[in-house]
Amino acid sequence: MKLTDPDRLFPVESAVRTLARELYESVAELPIISPHGHCDPSWFAKNERFPDPAQLFVVPDHYVFRMLVSQGVPMADLGVPSVDGRAVEDDPRKIWRRFAENYHLLRGTPSSMWLDHSFEHVFDLDERLSADTADAYYDHIDAKLAEDAFRPRALFDRFGIELLATTESALDDLTWHKMIGDSDWNGRVVTTYRPDNVVDPEFEGFADNVVQFGALTGEDTSTWEGYLQAHRVRRAFFKAYGATASDHGHATARTEDMLQADAAALFSKALAGTCTPDEADAFRGQMLTEMARMSLDDGLVLQIHPGSFRNHSASVFAGFGRDKGFDIPSQTDYVHALKPLLDAVGMEPSLTIIVFTLDETSYSRELAPLAGAYPALRLGPPWWFFDSNEGIKRFREATTETCGFYNTVGFNDDTRAFCSIPARHDVARRSDCAYLANLVATGRLGLADAHEVAHDLTYRLAKQAYRL
């Protein structure tokens, strides 16, 4: 028995399935372009073995552990590090067993598909994970992890990754990227400029961060002009480590294009910690437009990831901190929110702004119409809960008719779960080919065109949009 079906995610009707398989086979082996994600660059810098199966598959993957939490398993029992000093499980085998006993909770989810893919294709396992197979799995994976072939760089090469972008804070020293660059390994791991902690007045320690930002750049970040200049300097530093993009995770998609004097005044309030929530939101919005203007000069692509209500549970945040599966999508307006930015720079063909959403209702109503009009705007792939088979299907069905394929930018895996990268790209390739096969079978696209589009969605568009 195999864990994965070779025809998974293809349409069920035989002739269309054949078409989908044919399209998929033409792109299945293309290199992986991963232009946005959250892998830890120290893996590739140090190239140490991954510690154990639980640390590889459970503890860092909030997609996985939140599902067990949702059914009553305490987060501490899954080894998730606490920030309030409470004890958490430190026996990886016990964590693994709890995961295995509850593996049925993931039925029908993309997580189970990614995990089964990794188990089978990375670790050569072929029985379903369960309470019964938990220990055998653990021993098998743990033994593999001790082999050189399962160290980060070897897996990177084996996965066929042509480029992997990580995401670092504006205050990061990029030491791991330097180590990677100085090493004899040829894997291409680049950084991305993520300045939320010096852009968001509501970020913990914002004012101190801005001081540190000044120290790092040698600019006087107590003034608006110096602060902007510090961004320019830091963006150049990130570019030196391969960055081709910046990234911005804001609660809303709000943008502003205020007078510079007003922006400077708002910046002073932000530093003083006296912004109202609305003013903090306005400042973040102004900074998107400022970043876009810098992009016109330095060529970095501007990514906007709005609409997540971060750290929804006060008690989980107090006990375990950020990124624990309690970031919840919320309704997001784009049509009004992006207007200041688009009026400022939206008609610039030399600029690329990639907008993401967690609010699927905006695909057909707002984002595809906007991306199908403004030259600077591109529509990012399905994000977070939506980079799944159904999520990708709904994305294509809701956007293609309005903005076509060429205002989209290929796939992002956006993951911190390294082994899921090939699985996620495989799901995206299969889902896109299934969609294309349906278009061909219903007379909406010629077969030769479908082959070209499949290649574009898998490879070309990501390289082009992210300027790789």
276-295: contacts with a second copy (CB under 8 A): none
The type of residue at 15 is: A
Q: Is 202 helix (H, G, I), strand (E, B) or coil?
A: coil
**Span interacting with a second copy, options 50-58, 62-70, 205-213, 218-226, rule CB under 8 A:** 62-70
Of 210 and 367, nearer to a second copy (C-beta) is 367
Which of 312, 416, 455, 460 contacts a second copy by CB under 8 A?
Answer: 312
* Least distance in angstroms from the C-beta of 293 to a second copy: 16
User: Minimum distance between the CB of residue 298 and a second copy, rounded to whole angstroms?
Assistant: 19
Binding test (CB under 8 A) with a second copy, winner from 165, 355, 368, 419: 368
Least spacing, CB of residue 21 vs a second copy, in Å: 12
**Per the structure block, which two tokens stand in for 299?**
């060529």
Positions in 321-350 near a second copy (CB under 8 A)? 325-326, 328-331, 333, 335-336, 339, 342-343, 346-347, 349
Buried residues in 288-327 as b, exposed as e (16+ CB within 10 A): bbbbbbbbeeeebbbbbbbbbeebeeeebeebbeeebbbb
Vertex 435 angle, CA 159 and 451, to 5°? 70
Q: Which residues of 4-41 are buried (b: 16+ CB within 10 A; e: fewer)?
A: beeeebbbeeeebbebbbbbbebbeebebbbbbbbbeb
**Side-chain half-sphere of 132: how many Cα atoms within 13 Å?**
3
Q: Is 113 in the site for a second copy (CB under 8 A)?
A: yes
- Nearest residue (CB) to a second copy, 281 versus 359: 359
Q: How far is the CB of 184 from a second copy (least distance, A)?
A: 40
Q: How far is the CB of 5 from a second copy (least distance, A)?
A: 3
**Among residues 68, 298, 291, which one has the least CA distance to residue 200?**
291
Which stretch in 164-172, 262-270, 374-382, 460-468 sits in contact with a second copy by CB under 8 A?
374-382
The answer to whether residue 15 forms part of the interface with a second copy (CB under 8 A) is yes
What is the distance between the alpha carbons of residues 274 and 427, in angstroms, rounded to a whole number? Answer: 46
Provide the mask over 431-450, with x wherever binding to a second copy is found by CB under 8 A and - wherever it is not: -------xx-xxxxxx--x-
Residue 321 beta carbon to a second copy: minimum distance, rounded to whole angstroms = 15
What does the alpha-carbon distance between residue 133 and residue 6 come to, in Å, rounded to a whole number? 23
217 binds a second copy (CB under 8 A): no
CA 269 – CA 258 distance, rounded (Å):
15
The nearer residue to a second copy, 275 or 392, going by C-beta atoms, is 392
**Residues 353, 377: Cα–Cα separation, whole Å:** 5
Query: Is the Cβ of residue 230 or residue 342 nearer to a second copy in the bound state?
Result: 342
Q: Could you say which residues in the range 393-422 bind a second copy, by CB under 8 A? A: 397-398, 400-407
Q: Which of 371, 417, 419, 462 binds a second copy (CB under 8 A)?
A: 371
Candidate list 69, 122, 417, 421; residue touching a second copy; CB under 8 A? 69
* Contact status: 373 vs a second copy (CB under 8 A): yes
Q: How far apart are CA 155 and CA 163, in angstroms?
A: 13
Give the position of tokens 């028995």: 1
The candidate with the shortest Cα–Cα distance to 235, out of 170, 173, 167, is 170
Distance CA 104, CA 340 (A): 47
Minimum gap (Å) between residue 424 Cβ and a second copy: 13
Binding of a second copy by 11 (CB under 8 A)? yes
Q: Residue 50 is encoded by which pair of tokens?
A: 């991954």
Shortest Å, Cβ 454 to a second copy: 12
Counting residues that bind a second copy (by CB under 8 A) gives: 90
Residue 110 binds to a second copy (criterion: CB under 8 A): yes
Residue 18 contacts a second copy per CB under 8 A: no
